[in-house]
Amino acid sequence: MSSRFFGQYLLEKGRITSQQLFTALDNQKSVTSPIGILALERGWLTAEQIKQILEAQKKTNYRFGEQAVLSGLLTQPQVEELLNDQETSHRVLLGEVLVAKGYLTLSALEKEFKEYDREEEKLSSELAAAFQNVRHKDLVKTFTDLMMIMFTRFAKQELKIEQCETGKDKVRLFRWVFSQKVAGETLEFNCLLSVPPKLLLQMASTMLDETVSAPDELALDASKEFVNIANGNACARLSENGLNFTMTPPEVYETTAKPYPVNAKDVVCVHLASPDAKLEVAFEF
């Protein structure tokens, strides 16, 4: 069981090459308001209908949305909703670039969106079951959720859960590990965040509000605060259910210089992924 980003899914299925994915990821920041692909993702338009609109546009010079309404394929409120959509997903942007570059046809993209949705739905129910089976599942979910919120809301980094596993041997430590001790009345554990260098710099840049290019002392201090805020906010949320915890400041380990010692018997690992990097949240009970 493993949930994936759309780009990774296309790569694994052999629909695009790694070079095409790399180029597309590199280009997706320049895409703005791809409302045709957004309508395709939502199932409001088919690939065939988008082609019709694009053909008609050549003659009328109307904008895509105007032409779609004129052709009776979208309503005005639908077009407005698409134009106002601030949460354009990673896969819409990627899809737009893949089609624009000629790596995928519109029809193929339509088919892949549907197939991807089917697979993701199946995986998400399997993931829910995986969380259901871990110890302290509410706590694991809350800490994972809040860490993901820090990345998505503040670091503007889309993340998704790939897997949730139990066992010391499942820990996949990346270069930088942040370990924070959390203690409650009946339970004490370490909450770990493990990230590759790229994400560490992104965390530091978010906190310092400037581009950080080296993991110096200030960058590590800023990243520790990033972790501290995420975990502290998780404690705050758990306190709403009567669970009170205290924390000590996080410690940081560079695993290439000094391996992080995973000592606990009970370890729950949540493997996460951004579109181009892996990371992990783990709990040592």
Partner 1 sequence: MSDTKSVKVLVVDDSRTMTAMITAHLRDSGFEVVATASSGREALEKFQAYRPQVVLLDIVMPEENGVETLERILHVDTSACVVMVSSMGTEAEVQDCLKKGAKSFLQKPLRKDHMLGVLSNVCERAGVAL
Binding site for partner 1 (CB under 8 A): 154, 207-209, 218, 221-222, 224-225, 228-233, 235-236, 238-240, 244-249
Closest approach, Cβ 235 to partner 1, in A, equals 5
Report the residue number, 125 or 246, with the smaller CB distance to partner 1.
Answer: 246
Closest approach, Cβ 234 to partner 1, in A, equals 9
Query: Torsion over CA of 150, 181, 170 and 142, rounded to 10 degrees?
Result: -40
Closest approach, Cβ 252 to partner 1, in A, equals 12
Closest approach, Cβ 7 to partner 1, in A, equals 30
Closest approach, Cβ 225 to partner 1, in A, equals 4
Report the residue number, 184 or 197, with the smaller CB distance to partner 1.
Answer: 184
Report the residue number, 117 or 210, with the smaller CB distance to partner 1.
Answer: 210
- Written as one letter, the residue type at 141 is K
- Rounded Cα distance between 38 and 242, Å, is 42
Report the residue number, 58 or 156, with the smaller CB distance to partner 1.
Answer: 156
> How many residues can be counted in the chain?
285
- Rounded Cα distance between 73 and 47, Å, is 12
Report the residue number, 131 or 232, with the smaller CB distance to partner 1.
Answer: 232
Token code pair at residue 255: 């695993």
H/E segment holding residue 176: strand 176-184
Token code pair at residue 241: 């259910």
Q: Does residue 137 sit in helix, strand or coil? A: helix
